[in-house]
Amino acid sequence: MEAERRGMRIRKHPPSWIATAFLAACSTYASPGPCTNKSAAYDGFKILQVDLKNPIGFITPWGTLSNSLKKGLKLKVNSPFSLESFEQDSGFLSATLKANFASSQQTVKLSYAGGEILDCDPEAHTLRVVYPIFTSVVPSLIAPSIEEQTSESEHPGTTGATRVSERKLLVAPLAGYNQTRGTWGGLTFSDTIAKLRLHGESEASANSLTGHFDIGGSSRAVWRLWDHADWAGTFEYLSTPAGAARFKEGKISTRL
Amino acid sequence: MPCRPIHVNLEVDPGATQKILISLDKTCDANDEATWKMSFELQEGNPLATVVKLDVEIDPENHPQAEATAANSGLDDNHQGQAKIAAAIAKDPTVGDDDKKDAAQQVIAVKQIPAAAAPVNS
């Protein structure tokens, strides 16, 4: 009887005991949260993840710089966090982006590298490190035509969401809005094939279609006529509303 | 708000034979004190070659302007105008180094920051 009573007690009490213990555990568990302390306070925390965050990286599925940049970082997954290395990594990313683009055929207008500490868990002493990077470039393969310069000045600043890749081929989306054309989207690309430099851009909206294609190259000295010559050809197409009428134009031009 | 590092490289191209490169670097020490440094480089000629390069520590009173410049990721018209002025001063052999650095610092200082709402007196 006693054993049976004890057994009943055992059967009766464990569920409430487990529930109490579970609730107690839940109340003491601190989930990862924002890292509001100064960076040095996280020295020694275990790094669960190191990421490079590029807000428009997803649009270029090939040859991103992320992998090569990641290899040069001092902070690694599962290693302890250090403010000194965190600062050095951020500086390294900035210097590398700058150096990489300086030797490329694109003109850098802006490069940004920062550093963020996320998901700090004071109980488990863990965190995540994210380095936001962003670069806005414009292809400089061919000197811009007058039409291009005009077009460039008319575009809003948000248009230049051009991203660099490790290859010479560059493809990037364009988007913008103006009162005449409404919201428009398009694509820009540039590449070098042999000695030819190519650059094209096409944009479309509900009421307009524009595009241009440039091809350029250079030639060596021709006797005593010139030391070298640069040449370029441009095809441009415009179909945009102009008041009550519609402006349409197709144009081919060459320069030497 | 905790201090976090920021590095921004900006470029101004007044013409085909002139380029102004501006770097803004924010670093944080162990006490979470921010230090802003700016590098100002003027390139001229064809091909472009560095004419002047200045490294300037941004004064603490200009830290909000530096933060705003980095956050907006770009140079506005005021910045670009002052960058051209700073370039002209940087090239002038009669101007001292301190004045050149001051002119470079003004590139960041001219950033317009919206004024905070004035307190309402009861």
What domains lie within chain A, and their CATH numbers? 31-137 (3.10.20.310), 141-255 (no CATH)
Residue B2 has pLDDT above 80, yes or no: yes
| Pairing verdict, β A46-53 and A126-139 | parallel
User: Domain coordinates of chain B in residue numbers?
Assistant: 6-109
Query: A163 to chain B, minimum CA–CA distance in Å?
Result: 15
pLDDT of residue A51: 86
> Could you report the per-residue pLDDT of B90-103, keeping only the tens digit for each?
888 898 888 988 88
A114, A194, B29, B32 from A38: Cα distances, Å: 16, 52, 9, 6
Polymer length in residues for chain A: 256
> Residue-wise over A129-140: b if at least 16 C-beta within 10 A, else e?
bbbbbbbbbbbe
CB B33 within 8 A of CB B63: no
**Interface contact A87-B8, CB threshold 8 A:** no
What are the average pLDDT values for consecutive 10-residue runs of chain A, which has 256 residues? 47 51 45 82 92 63 60 90 92 80 56 89 92 69 46 40 44 70 77 75 84 76 63 80 71 68
pLDDT of residue B26: 93
Stronger pLDDT, A9 or B71, i.e. the higher one? B71
Query: A133 to chain B, minimum CA–CA distance in Å?
Result: 9
Contact residues on chain B for A109, CB-CB shorter than 8 A: 10-11
Give the one of A98, A116, A157 whose C-beta lies nearest to B9's C-beta. A98
pLDDT of residue A87: 92
Max distance between CA atoms of chain A, in angstroms, equals: 120
Asked if the C-beta of A137 comes within 8 angstroms of chain B's C-beta atoms, the answer is: no
pLDDT of residue A159: 35
Contact residues on chain B for A136, CB-CB shorter than 8 A: 73
Stronger pLDDT, A165 or B83, i.e. the higher one? B83
Q: Among all chains, which residue has been given the structure tokens 């920062």? A: A114
Contact residues on chain A for B8, CB-CB shorter than 8 A: 94, 110-113
Q: Which residue of A has its CA nearest to B6?
A: A114
Residue B10 has pLDDT above 50, yes or no: yes
pLDDT of residue A163: 36
pLDDT of residue A227: 62
